[in-house]
Amino acid sequence: MKRKTIFIFLVAIIISISCVGYYLYIYYDRTEYVIDDIYAKDDSIPKGTFYIHASDLTLDYPREKIIYPDDGYVPNELTAARIAEAVLVSKYGEKIYGQKPYRINLIKDSIWVVNGSVTGGGYGENAHIEIRKKDGKILKVFMGC
């Protein structure tokens, strides 16, 4: 009986140590990233020796701490047009410039809708993009009729 009790006790200790080790492995990842000396203001830190932990790379800010401008980050048609043009040119190329003038509408005082104009009075693909006024988030981008 004494041997059986000792055996059960040792198995319980081994399982406990394994669980603690697994927990530490999962929740305390020690991955480090080497940052070049571009971040060093002087030569006091030799290149390749400045380390940061992986958890330092996350930028998770609570929403209540973010302060938005009263008019939002996209306050007017000109700003919406510039953002739309930058996104559309990067996605569809220089042909977007041929869709000027853009038709810009503000829907429910929260979403800018920017559409390209089809030239020549005919049908064709025109650009469509929706941008949130408050934070500038791109909600939709596509080419359609």
Instruction: Select the more confidently predicted residue: 144 or 11.
Output: 11
DSSP letter (8 states) at residue 90:
H
**What pLDDT, on a 0 to 100 scale, did the predictor assign at position 96?**
86
Q: Which of 75, 96, 73, 95 is nearest to 84 (CA)?
A: 96
**What pLDDT, on a 0 to 100 scale, did the predictor assign at position 35?**
46
Mean pLDDT for 9-33 is 75
Q: Look at residue 34 and tell me whether its pLDDT is greater than 50.
A: no
Q: Could you give the CA distance from residue 23 to residue 80 in angstroms, rounded to a whole number?
A: 48
Convert the pLDDT of each residue in 58-83 to its tens digit: 555 555 667 788 888 999 999 999 99
Helices and strands in the chain: count of H runs, count of E runs: 2, 6
User: What are residue 52's DSSP bridge partners?
Assistant: 33
Q: Is the pTM of this model over 0.75?
A: no
**What pLDDT, on a 0 to 100 scale, did the predictor assign at position 119?**
64
Mean pLDDT for 93-103 is 87
Whether 129 and 84 have beta carbons less than 8 Å apart is answered as yes
Rg (CA), the chain: 28
**What pLDDT, on a 0 to 100 scale, did the predictor assign at position 105?**
92
Mean pLDDT for 17-26 is 77
Instruction: Select the more confidently predicted residue: 27 or 3.
Output: 3
Q: Where are the domains of the chain?
A: 77-144
- The structural architecture, per CATH, of the domain 77-144 is Roll (3.10)
